[in-house]
Amino acid sequence: MSQTLSELGSPPQLDPQTLRIVPLGGIGEIGRNMTVFELGGKLLIVDCGVLFPEDEQPGVDLILPDFSYIKDRIHDVLAVVLTHGHEDHIGAVPYLLRLRADIPLVGSQLTLALIEAKLREHRIKPYTLSVAEGQKEKFGPFECEFVAVNHSIPDALAVAIRTSAGSVLHTGDFKMDQLPLDGRITDLRSFARLGAEGIDLFLVDSTNADVPGFTTAEREIGPVLEAEFGKAERRVIVASFSSHVHRVQQVLDAASAHGRKVALVGRSMVRNMKIAADLGYLHVPDGTLVDLKAIGDLPDDQVVLMCTGSQGEPMAALSRMASRDHKVEIGQDDTVILASSLIPGNENAVFRVINGLMRLGARVVHKGTAKVHVSGHASAGELLYCYNIVRPRGVMPVHGEMRHLIANGDLAELAGVDPGRVIIADDGAVIDMKNGDAELVGKIECGLVFVDGSSVGEITEADLKDRRILADEGFVSIFVAIDFSTGKVIAGPEIHARGIAEDDKVFVDLKPKIADALLEAHKDGRANQHQLQQVVRRTVGRFASSKLRRRPMIIPVVVEA
Amino acid sequence: MSQTLSELGSPPQLDPQTLRIVPLGGIGEIGRNMTVFELGGKLLIVDCGVLFPEDEQPGVDLILPDFSYIKDRIHDVLAVVLTHGHEDHIGAVPYLLRLRADIPLVGSQLTLALIEAKLREHRIKPYTLSVAEGQKEKFGPFECEFVAVNHSIPDALAVAIRTSAGSVLHTGDFKMDQLPLDGRITDLRSFARLGAEGIDLFLVDSTNADVPGFTTAEREIGPVLEAEFGKAERRVIVASFSSHVHRVQQVLDAASAHGRKVALVGRSMVRNMKIAADLGYLHVPDGTLVDLKAIGDLPDDQVVLMCTGSQGEPMAALSRMASRDHKVEIGQDDTVILASSLIPGNENAVFRVINGLMRLGARVVHKGTAKVHVSGHASAGELLYCYNIVRPRGVMPVHGEMRHLIANGDLAELAGVDPGRVIIADDGAVIDMKNGDAELVGKIECGLVFVDGSSVGEITEADLKDRRILADEGFVSIFVAIDFSTGKVIAGPEIHARGIAEDDKVFVDLKPKIADALLEAHKDGRANQHQLQQVVRRTVGRFASSKLRRRPMIIPVVVEA
């Protein structure tokens, strides 16, 4: 029986010999990964990412981990270790650094280059410490050792954290491609050694824990791309993630093999690939890369556009091409390749783009029709290898929804981990480790922090509920100025409705009813502004529900005139 | 080169020898299937279904085909042929019958029983004509022959329509399960005979045209269910579609084999299965079915609950169980089986339910983890068989988004259909057939008709745009009563904001600015209500955009006092 959060209360006082682990994000969701390690009054943070909102969160730009737990002790934070450069691991760093700008950021060369570029846009110049696989660094009571892992972005790291209270190994995001393009495999030899030295708690990426078997190797995409390029009669447009250096590498190689030039489209694609090329992670075949402006001068069958927008994002290049709102005009016999996953929730948007492109005559290739994408995360088969090699005493699945965490915990148990040492946690769970024994001991308040426009954390769940009501039902606002001494209407009622089917005219009959109700209420002695507004609200609500079968948001305003 | 809708205009005048075919729904979308056939001034309709809204259509309950095209000629409609009893083929019938209640409905026994039950809720008693496979019926110039097809609901029919202008075969929805539970296969012998007699235009279900290979047989689910039932330690909860008689049959059989009783949960499930059992389509093993109320008296390991909600619908039983808002309390070691597809767009809702169930300790089985669902539609392999058996002169793919239609058209071409006779149409396309030659000749106006509460067709795309803005940005309303002769504020400004992060206090500084702007405008001679409201709108808009970085909907109301 694994340890699960049932009705845990506040955690106990922390004694100086205990290591406390508190995930502030990434457990129970895919995104905003952030884990806090605390020992002897000092804090070490692993990752600080964002989560992308769902439809239930309209208007929200980003969701951050809740920093409340560490806010008062921000000066005790020794470092933030960034395992790799994806948004769900680094995206919230600019917001964390608003609390204290000089927290050292620790990560690999590429990871730091990507976060530095992001921070430049926020006008922040961070303190950084570049580390590489095999390297050890001590941050106060935390001895960190960095281990190479393979993922869908180069230069990803796992981190082992040794403390006086016990040892932790955190995989970050990883998979176990045995023949990666850059030859940098997940370092199972180091995993084996660390396991032999003793890992008390193994924090393991759960994203694909419920996917049986093994994740296909990235290099298997190459021949598929080559074949598609070979068949292409006119332009080829490839869409993928803007940080997927190896995917772009394979597109460059396929283009070069077919005598095509590649133009990068989209700000993040251009920025990230420049960084990757400058640092030597992306190898551009001579003369293959051209500027988007130069594409017009080339024959169609010598053109490749490498762009973003593979998730159907409405403002990205691909969506705009599909709706003929982009300078690149997709036409008959162009080939569009979506070399990307389909993130759950994005299906309608992506299929809308695919339908639009096909309507314009393009041939569209996607992972449903050809092997043009592989995942960046270890599947169940790989995770079993991992457990058997590390043989950890305890396991806490991370980076996943509940279904992924439980599937991962089941794998750990199958591989022989004591079920009592498998911790199925949640954001805000508090895990204490003493003498190498990790245990769920409590839970802290830890909500979703919404970024919307310039506001951070000001949008509440109540605001989102208002937005959902407004979206589903619209609103009616009623303004009336009355003489408070008599209850007689002086101006109005003015009634405005938006987002409901009927136009404002439907409310004409309602106006005398409101005036009457106000007069009546006044006679009864319900004469203050709040009471009169309630009268208006009830009158309008009854009308909307009986006549229109609706429950719009109602905003009554009664003022004295 | 297939025929596609590019810049077609209005269709030509229809001459009496020409058969006109106008799809009003189902082409370019999956749902609201409806096709109008017209010859010699008489109309025959095939199917009349609804489409379910996407997130882009907040607050909308249902989407209907646009009946404008037939409204003025509703008395020329000879019959509505309903190919089967799914909502996307019958759901809009109640709305069509509002235009004329005595349009005869033609369909199989089960199809009619289902539409009659639905119409009873709308207090409509329809005129019906029950038909069976092999039967021929003449409706004016349309000679119809009905052909058995296999689908995910029993008693589905294809329909061949012979006219003086040519012959059409419409598959409805179908697949080609060669060993269906009820032994009622898609009648390829009749397809072959009809093909030999000559099919000029073949309207073919495209839903799975881009899925390679063959759709798995329904009976392969049985052993999987049996195995899951065998492993189950406590209750088994199965969720599926409320019309999927054969799926429910297999659940009943598996329950019976394991000595479990089944209770049906959900109004539509109970209603449909009663109809199916009464008509002999569902065979209930003796004593297997019990009332939900009786379940409490049984040991957990003798209980099966068969419910709806497999798409994560928030009000359905399964969602409510997952959020502990249902009398059935899911607990540790209950088994939940989602024996259903995952309709695109529903992923987040379904995964939310799965995560909730797993958090409560349930074991969740779904099509991602076991073969507990098969599709109801023919895949590419089956479609090729179909084309080779019918050998139609022309083809028009139906029932699909653009990507499905094009994939299906490509299959027809591969099977030897003249590419010039493959019609990739769209809702509102007009296809004329003369001497057996079908051709795209034009296009009619044909929009989405939204049902929202009691309103049908009143919600416009502009209202939905308002709703989307309200959802993303919220609104600010400003009421001010002024003396129109001086421009001086008498009451207000009252400012109310909803759905934005900041509370109303942020607008305090704005009030004197509005008063000043109004006075200023009045001095400049901009003194009518419209002009003054524009002044308020601009003042507030500038403030929101510069101070708050938002673009809320702004509702300025200036009245005379």
pLDDT, one tens digit per residue, over A501-532 is 666 677 888 888 888 888 888 777 777 888 88
Q: Which helix (H) or strand (E) element contains residue A540?
A: helix A529-543
Whether A19 and A166 have beta carbons less than 8 Å apart is answered as yes
Chain A interface includes B36 (CB < 8 A): no
Q: How many CB pairs under 8 A join A and B?
A: 189
Answer yes or no: do B201 and B66 share one domain: yes
Question: Does the distance separating the beta carbons of B55 and A466 come in below 8 Å?
Answer: no
Chain B interface includes A56 (CB < 8 A): yes
pLDDT digits (tens, 9 = 90+) for A62-103: 999 999 999 999 999 999 999 999 999 999 999 999 999 999
Question: Does the distance separating the beta carbons of A59 and B473 come in below 8 Å?
Answer: yes
What are the C-alpha distances in Å from B288 to residues B251, B257, B261, B264, B307?
A: 10, 10, 5, 11, 15
CA distance B539 to B558: 13
Amino acid at site B86: H
Query: Does residue A238 belong to any structural domain of this protein?
Result: yes
Separation of CA A25 from chain center: 10
Which pLDDT score is estimated for A78? 98
ipTM: 0.88
Chain B contact probe: residue of A335, A336, A355, A411 with most B CBs at under 10 A: A355
- Is A291 annotated to bind a ligand? Reply is no
- Nearest 5°: the CA angle B124, B129, B133 is 135
A56-60: which pairs have CB atoms within 8 A and are 24 or more residues apart? A56/A464, A56/A468, A56/B348, A57/A450, A57/A464, A58/A464, A58/A467, A58/A468, A58/A471, A58/B471, A58/B472, A59/A452, A59/A459, A59/A467, A59/B471, A59/B472, A59/B473, A59/B474, A59/B499, A60/A450, A60/A451, A60/A452, A60/A459, A60/A464
What are the DSSP calls for A506-528, one per residue?
GGTTHHHHHHHHHHHHHHTT--S
CA distance A432 to A199: 15
Query: Does residue B360 belong to any structural domain of this protein?
Result: yes
DSSP-based three-state secondary structure for B185: coil
pLDDT digits (tens, 9 = 90+) for B46-101: 999 999 998 888 889 999 999 999 999 999 999 999 999 999 999 999 999 999 99
CA distance A490 to B432: 64
Q: Name the CA dihedral angle for B48, B52, B58, B63, rounded to a multiple of 10 degrees.
A: -10
Whether B526 and B456 have beta carbons less than 8 Å apart is answered as no
Answer yes or no: do B196 and B254 share one domain: no
- Binding-site residues of B for Zn(2+) sit at 84, 86, 88-89, 151, 173, 399
Answer yes or no: do A360 and A391 share one domain: no
Model confidence at A418, in pLDDT bands (50, 70, 90)? very high
Question: Does the distance separating the beta carbons of B472 and A467 come in below 8 Å?
Answer: yes
Question: Does the distance separating the beta carbons of B355 and A452 come in below 8 Å?
Answer: no
Answer yes or no: do B107 and B208 share one domain: yes
Chain A interface includes B481 (CB < 8 A): yes
Q: Of A420-424, B6-10, B464-468, B546-550, which has the strongest mean pLDDT?
A: A420-424
More confident: B487 or A211: A211
CA distance B338 to A42: 47
Amino acid at site B302: Q
DSSP-based three-state secondary structure for B525: coil
Query: Does residue B456 belong to any structural domain of this protein?
Result: no
Whether A389 and A18 have beta carbons less than 8 Å apart is answered as no
Question: Does the distance separating the beta carbons of A458 and B559 come in below 8 Å?
Answer: no
CA distance B291 to B303: 11
Answer yes or no: do A245 and A299 share one domain: yes
This prediction's pTM: 0.90
Cβ contacts of A458 on chain B, cutoff 8 Å = 501-502
- Is A155 annotated to bind a ligand? Reply is no
Whether B343 shows a pLDDT value over 90: the answer reads no
CA distance B208 to B378: 6
Give me the domain span that covers residue B381: 3-213+376-451
CATH, residue B524:
3.10.20.580
Whether B385 shows a pLDDT value over 70: the answer reads yes
Question: Which residue among A377, A404, A410, A432 is the active-site one?
Answer: A377
**What is chain A's Cα-based Rg?**
28
Q: How many domains does chain A have?
A: 3
Query: Does residue A7 belong to any structural domain of this protein?
Result: no
Cis before B493? omega within 30: yes
The predicted model gives A299-319 an average pLDDT of 91
Answer yes or no: do A119 and A232 share one domain: no
Q: Given B451, B478, B513, which residue is the final one in a domain?
A: B451
Answer yes or no: do B545 and B423 share one domain: no
Query: Does residue B420 belong to any structural domain of this protein?
Result: yes
Tokens 């299929």 correspond to what residue?
A351
Answer yes or no: do A209 and A222 share one domain: no
Answer yes or no: do A125 and A181 share one domain: yes
Chain A contact probe: residue of B29, B56, B333, B355 with most A CBs at under 10 A: B355
pLDDT digits (tens, 9 = 90+) for B393-416: 999 999 999 999 999 999 999 999
Query: Does residue A4 belong to any structural domain of this protein?
Result: no
Answer yes or no: do B34 and B177 share one domain: yes
**What is chain B's Cα-based Rg?**
28
Which pLDDT score is estimated for B258? 96
Query: Does residue A2 belong to any structural domain of this protein?
Result: no
Answer yes or no: do A183 and A223 share one domain: no
Q: Given A321, A341, A366, which residue is the final one in a domain?
A: A366
Query: Can you state the angle between helices B267-278 and B109-121, rounded to 10 degrees?
Result: 140
Cβ contacts of B351 on chain A, cutoff 8 Å = 344, 401, 403
CA distance A251 to B491: 65
Active site residues of B: 205, 377
Answer yes or no: do B421 and B338 share one domain: no
Whether A55 shows a pLDDT value over 60: the answer reads yes
Whether A21 shows a pLDDT value over 70: the answer reads yes
Separation of CA B185 from chain center: 25
The predicted model gives B357-374 an average pLDDT of 92
CATH, residue B406:
3.60.15.10
Cβ contacts of A472 on chain B, cutoff 8 Å = 58-59, 467
Which of B475, B465, B467, B478 minimizes the C-alpha distance to B500?
B475
CATH, residue A355:
3.40.50.10710
State chain B's mean pLDDT as an integer: 92
With a CB cutoff of 8 Å and minimum separation 6, the contacts of A196 are none
Query: Does residue A240 belong to any structural domain of this protein?
Result: yes
A522 is catalytic: no
Q: Given A301, A333, A366, which residue is the final one in a domain?
A: A366
